[in-house]
Amino acid sequence: MESEANITTQKEMAMPWTGKSFSKHNKKLSGKKLKVAAAAANAVLKKTGDEGKAIRIGNAAGNKAKA
């Protein structure tokens, strides 16, 4: 039986997005909007561990950001 210290959660394994890597989730965003989307998604992922929710919120933030 593994101890709790040895169990790695998906939240801990998740790799943060960059603007470039986040572009696969929203091809209509570019430049500053992608950076905003990635930052928002990373914050949500860190807080919740929910990748789907992070992508949705990241896309919304990127769409609302000024170019």
| Distance in angstroms (rounded) separating the CA atoms of residues 33 and 64 | 8
Tell me, yes or no, whether 49 lies in a domain. yes
Is 2 within a domain? Answer: no
pLDDT of amino acid 67:
81
The per-residue pLDDT for 59 is: 97
Radius of gyration of the chain (CA): 14
Instruction: Please give the structure tokens belonging to residue 31.
Output: 């430049």
pLDDT at residue 30 in the model:
92
- Does residue 32 sit within a domain? yes
* Count of domains for the chain: 1
pLDDT at 7: 45
Residue 29 placed within a domain: yes
With a cut of 70, list the residues of the chain below it in pLDDT: 1-15
Within a domain: 59: yes
Stated pTM of the model: 0.76
